[in-house]
Amino acid sequence: MRTARIKVAAEEGTAVYHCMTRTVNGERVIDDPAKEVLRKQLWLTAEFCGVEILTYAIMSNHFHVLVRVPQKSVPNDTELLRRHRLLHPKPTKYQAERLEVIEGQLASGGAEGEAWRRRQLALMGDVSAFMKLLKQRFAIWFNKAHKRYGTLFAERFKSVLVENRTNALRTMALYIDLNPVRAGLVADPKDYRFCGYGEAVAGHKPARAGLCHLHGGDWRHAHAAHRIGLFGTGSAPRSRGATIDPAVFEKVLRQKGQLPLTDVLRCRVRYFTDAAVLGSEAFVATQLAAFRRRHGTRARTAPRPLAPIADWGGLTALRGLRRSPFG
């Protein structure tokens, strides 16, 4: 039985989620042309669903996206048709209805128009609907392009509900943008065209808007703040390499010492993909209580502080991790 995903009800307010999904068996099948298609589909699907991309990273066997879901509102028919046109500019075998026919059905006020409206609204303002649609559309393209069939992505996507405040959001965004550095693909994420920071530096306005939301102010301020977060004091890439030896973590933990957060984020941190909720202790406790009210379960553990290997700024996580949180 699947565990219910922790989400903020659409009517209750804005929520931010870190979503991550992997290919079947972790196969590295997403090459650069496929990454470009997924990048374009990411932005189009987000606009269709009425959600905002704060940053993202597309890798060869998985992708991350930090997505902001505004408090749900009901788009009018004109807006629904505009969004529909983004994904379906012309009829296909997956969307056979012509736009003129849909417009007529909506104008007539009949049952067909109302059914179409309900189907579209069900896809709006929900992180699960956004991820499902994105994965489906990309898998259809990928299978057709590579003359294959079957499942492309493994299991459900993982999601972590992130507190909508600067420290939690910025830390998560830095972790996501450092994916290509951890993988040893680049020394500087600005040189990786398939992540939010790299696309923002290249001039993409929606990507810049996402970083401005994280840091406040204009693009110049947001860029400087994000770059300092990526590399620590100063803007030059570090020379030590892509990652830190896990043995260093173990030594620091044993000695109850700390590493700079900019160093820690260059390693895989499972809190950011497996923790279910990330934020202050009060935020995590509130989401846990809401989850229990809705689902009547006490299976979730209480908020736990992150391992004291870095200054996390008071962040706590909901789920106790079964494995080492690093590596």
Q: Using an 8 Å Cβ cutoff, are 153 and 21 in contact?
A: yes
Give the pLDDT of residue 64: 97
Lowest mean pLDDT among 72-81, 140-149, 174-183, 247-256: 247-256
**Domain extents for the chain?**
10-72+124-242, 77-123, 244-278+301-327
321 pLDDT more than 90: no
Element spanning 53, H or E: strand 52-58
163 pLDDT more than 70: yes
Chain segment 48-61, per-residue pLDDT in tens: 999 999 999 999 99
Give the pLDDT of residue 176: 96
Taking the CA atoms of the chain, what radius of gyration do you get in angstroms?
21
pLDDT band at 248 (very low <50, low <70, confident <90, very high): low
pLDDT band at 318 (very low <50, low <70, confident <90, very high): confident
Q: How large is the average pLDDT for residues 226-239?
A: 71
Within 8 A by CB and 6+ apart from 52, the residues are 46, 67, 68, 69, 70, 209, 210, 213
Token digits for 228? 């300092």
**CATH code for the structural domain at 10-72+124-242:** 3.30.70.1290
**Coil vs helix vs strand at 195:** strand
The whole model's pTM is what?
0.88
User: DSSP characters for 28-92?
Assistant: ----HHHHHHHHHHHHHHHHHHT-EEEEEEE-SSEEEEEEEEPPP----HHHHHHHHHHH-SS--
Chain segment 17-76, per-residue pLDDT in tens: 999 999 999 999 999 999 999 999 999 999 999 999 999 999 999 999 999 999 888 899
Residue with tokens 């493994």: 154
Give the pLDDT of residue 158: 93
Q: Using an 8 Å Cβ cutoff, are 258 and 252 in contact?
A: yes
Strands, E assignment, 83-225: 158-162
